[in-house]
Every structure is written in structure tokens, then in C-alpha cells.
Amino acid sequence: MGIKWDTSSFDRGVADLNVKIVSQAQKAVNRVADEVLRLSSFEVPHDTGLLQNSGHVEDMGDHAIVGYNKVYAARLHEHPEYRFQKGRKGKYLESPIKNNMPVLLQYYRDVMSGLF
């Protein structure tokens, strides 16, 4: 004699929770990406403003891409020895991430805590 358990409501609950977790994680990733873009805008080299104005965030679902969309963006980023005006500098994406990691992690935690 076997016992049959009806787990359908549990299975639906787990599936619903998974959907909510994925959705919140996407929101959290995009919030962090937006903050990285905002922070980098204070460091990105600025002459005419074209590079700074090309900054963007691409939502890729489970991750996001933060970048600047000019052909010279990578060259300027990878050469911090260049002399930039207005206190700007190279590594303008990398530095804000490294220097603000606790804050960025808190942004992620804050969004994810909305689940509970």
C-alpha cells in the first residue's frame, strides 16, 4: 500500500517564488548597473561631452552591460596615464566599481529584500 502526497500546490509555490526571485534579481542588477553608470559619469574623460553622453546600460536579463559607445572609449579607459582635463581619468568604469563595492552590494541587497 503506497501513500500518495499531493505536492502540486507546493510545486506551484516554488515555481512562483522562482519567478519572483529572477524578476527581483534582474531589477537589482539593473539598479546596480544604473548606479555604476552614474558614478562613472563623474570620472569619464570630458572634452566635448560626446563620450560622457554615450554612456548606457544594456539589460541582458540576468546581467547588464554598462559602457560608453564611442570608438575611443576603451582606449581612454585602459590608459590612465593619459592627462585628462577637469579631474577626469582612465579606468572610469573600473574605479567606481572597486571604490563603491559595499554600496553596490547594498543596492542589490535592498532590491532583493523586497521579496520578503
Distances (CA, A) of 28 to 68, 77, 107, 112: 21, 26, 7, 7
pTM: 0.86
Task: Indicate the average pLDDT of the chain.
Answer: 93
* Each residue's pLDDT tens digit, 83-116: 999 889 999 999 999 999 999 999 999 999 987 7
Ranges of each domain in the chain: 10-115
- Asked if the model's pLDDT at residue 77 lies above 80, the reply is yes
Cα gap 104→19, rounded to integer Å: 23
Average pLDDT estimate for 53-70: 95
- Asked if the model's pLDDT at residue 45 lies above 90, the reply is yes
- Asked if the model's pLDDT at residue 1 lies above 80, the reply is no
Name the nearest CA neighbour of 95 among 42, 46, 48.
42
- Looking at residue 44, its pLDDT comes to 96
Distance between start and end Cα atoms, the chain: 40
Q: Return the exposure string of 25-47: e unless at least 16 CB atoms fall within 10 Å of the residue's CB, then b.
A: bbebbbbbbebbbebbeebbbbe
